[in-house]
Structure 1
Amino acid sequence: MKTIKQALLIFFCSFLFSCEDKEIEASVEKMLTGTWEWESTDGGIAFNIHQSPTTTDKNVLLIFKPKRHYSIFVNNKLVEEGSFTFTKQKCIHNHSEKPVIQLNKTINTEPGVNIPAVIKMIENLDENTLTFSDENYDGIGSSFKRINK
């Protein structure tokens, strides 16, 4: 009888945490939906990388659509689109669990076009700001601002 209770408790806790993860993903997905304009990419060994639309002559738009679809435009030209999924990973900066976006490219219309932005772990997401990091100790991060919901 004791083992049945333990098994039910384990099952219930797993179900509860699974539901909570899905609710968090849905909330993050809802906040992501919209058009984001790339502002900068910074980092690297000795913080030596500093890129922006001005320094690269590249305007990057990242569009997250409902049902986990995305598009990336560079200088108003579609360069990539596909679907995305979420995973969770422990952040090396503050050791908390954060969402990670995995892009599943289905169309690469401009092979070889360098997208000067990092799209991986969501470090910060609010109404108007989106910040990603590549989760490396000498890594880089990219900032976007919302331009459309």
Structure 2
Amino acid sequence: MRKFITILITAITFISCGAESENKAQNSDFVGKWKWTGTHGGFADHLHETPASTETTLQLNLMKNYTFTILKDAKEVMIGKYELTMIKSIYTGEMEKYITCAMSNNPDGRYFVTNGIIKIYDENKLSIDDNNYDGIGSEFERIE
């Protein structure tokens, strides 16, 4: 009987761990330093911000241990944890990677999209799109 209970508990542990990791996504593609190049979109595509238009340089650093930092004009202004999960994209209808950055309530800390569908394209470019109709998206270039 004791052997049966041990096997049952072990099986439940493996099943619950497998279900949790099924929705989580790996971050290896995104780890690095990313220079913000622009944020665009919004209702009727009215938003077009760039480093030139805002006179601000921004950098997003995504670390392997699922932490991030945001630098504004080379000064660290935000630090936190991020999570990658898989959700259904409104753009493609497919399951895609979704980043959620745990941010403080500091309104000055929201410089670009930090929660959304995250993709790498053209090998060194990254986009985060908020997965909303009439939503906004931010683009970045890899620094390192």
What TM-score do the two structures reach when normalised by structure 2? 0.78
Q: In the aligned structure 2, how far is the partner of 1:117 from the partner of 1:41?
A: 6
The 5 A counterparts of 1:1-149 are 25-26=25-26, 29-105=27-103, 111-126=106-121, 127-148=123-144
3-state SS in 1 of match to 2:110? coil
Gaps of 5+ in 1: 1-10
Q: In the aligned structure 1, how far is the partner of 2:116 from the partner of 2:108?
A: 22
Q: What's the offset of the Cα at 1:105?
A: 3.7
Q: In the aligned structure 1, how far is the partner of 2:129 from the partner of 2:21?
A: 26
Taking a change above 3 Å as real, the CA distance of residues 54 and 16 of structure 1, as seen in their structure-2 partners, is: same
Q: What's the offset of the Cα at 1:103?
A: 1.2
Q: What's the offset of the Cα at 1:55?
A: 0.3
Taking a change above 3 Å as real, the CA distance of residues 123 and 90 of structure 1, as seen in their structure-2 partners, is: same
Taking a change above 3 Å as real, the CA distance of residues 78 and 64 of structure 1, as seen in their structure-2 partners, is: same
Q: In the aligned structure 2, how far is the partner of 1:117 from the partner of 1:136?
A: 15
State the aligned residue count.
131
Q: What's the offset of the Cα at 1:16?
A: 7.2
State, as a whole percentage, how many aligned pairs show the same letter: 31
What TM-score do the two structures reach when normalised by structure 1? 0.75
3-state SS in 2 of match to 1:86? strand
